[in-house]
Amino acid sequence: MPLIGDPAPSFTAVTTAGEINFPKDYRDKWVVLFSHPADFTPVCTTEFMTFANMQDEFKELNCELIGLSIDSIYAHIAWLRTIKEKIEYKGMKDIEITFPVIADLKMEVAKKFGMLQPNASDTQAVRAVFVIDPKAKIRAILYYPLSNGRNMDEIKRLVQALQKSDAEDIATPANWQPGEDVIIPPPGSCGTAKERVESEEEGKYCLDWFMCFKKGQ
């Protein structure tokens, strides 16, 4: 299983949107690669509808979605058509899933990313999420069990937090939302700590020498 900071494993795969070559086809983009246990299952259906409903929000963040399960391309197509034609959930209906869904019957991609966990299932991928940056480095990994659906708003918030940290060299506190205050990296020396606490910078405030914030924008 690749870890945070590792290069994302490369692969070529057949998907519902045609063949993709990763990461070549996603150069300079953020990617959320996520697995689901199986087509035609209720939890997965709610997840896919929610992701599809938020796809434009992810695109605004320069972020593309890629799904995966250990099913055939024909099962994927039939399931996505069923979602569009028959399923209504939380006011969402006629939902067309246009992001690629990988057909991974041989489990090649799932094994590369550690999406199979034998104590959960030998034949189904767990609900894994890999957030991958424009340099094809893995920046975050989330795992959920088969029984519980993911929070797509949290996945989007995580992408936004990573992008904010990269752009401004800051950290984000617990429950941070875009526009809220952010954390300035801790000082590396006693002198720097003293200067930071005593200095008066617009938009900066400290709770202690190690805990300084910058007003959100």
**62 vs 196: CA distance, rounded Å:** 35
Q: Nearest Cα to 13, choosing from 37, 33, 29?
A: 33
pLDDT digits (tens, 9 = 90+) for 25-75: 999 999 999 999 999 999 999 999 999 999 999 999 999 999 999 899 999
Task: Please tell me whether 196 is known to bind a ligand.
Answer: no
Tally the domains of the chain.
2
- Average pLDDT over every residue of 78-104: 97
**180 vs 203: CA distance, rounded Å:** 12
Would you state the structure tokens that stand for residue 3, as one six-digit string?
């870890």
* CATH number of the domain enclosing 217: 3.30.1020.10
Residues 29, 110 within the same domain: yes
pLDDT digits (tens, 9 = 90+) for 135-184: 999 999 999 988 999 999 999 999 999 999 999 999 999 999 999 999 99
Would you state the structure tokens that stand for residue 18, as one six-digit string?
């045609």
pLDDT band at 196 (very low <50, low <70, confident <90, very high): confident
* pLDDT computed for residue 116 by the predictor: 86
3-state SS, one letter per residue, for 188-213: CCHHHHHHHHHCCCCCEEEEECCEEE
Q: What is the mean pLDDT of the chain?
A: 93
Burial (CB count within 10 angstroms: exposed 0-12, middle 13-18, buried 19+), residue 53: middle
User: What residues make up the domain containing 180?
Assistant: 169-217
Longest dimension (CA), the chain: 65
Which of the following is catalytic: 44, 63, 206, 212? 44
Identify whether 6 is part of a domain.
no
Cis omega (within 30 of 0) for bond into 23: yes
* pLDDT computed for residue 124 by the predictor: 75
**213 vs 193: CA distance, rounded Å:** 13
| The pTM of the whole model exceeds 0.75 | yes
Identify whether 5 is part of a domain.
no
Residues 174, 154 within the same domain: no
63 is catalytic: no
* CATH number of the domain enclosing 100: 3.40.30.10
CB 176 within 8 A of CB 159: no
**Percent of the chain topping pLDDT 90:** 80
**The length of the chain, given as a count of residues:** 217
* pLDDT computed for residue 189 by the predictor: 67
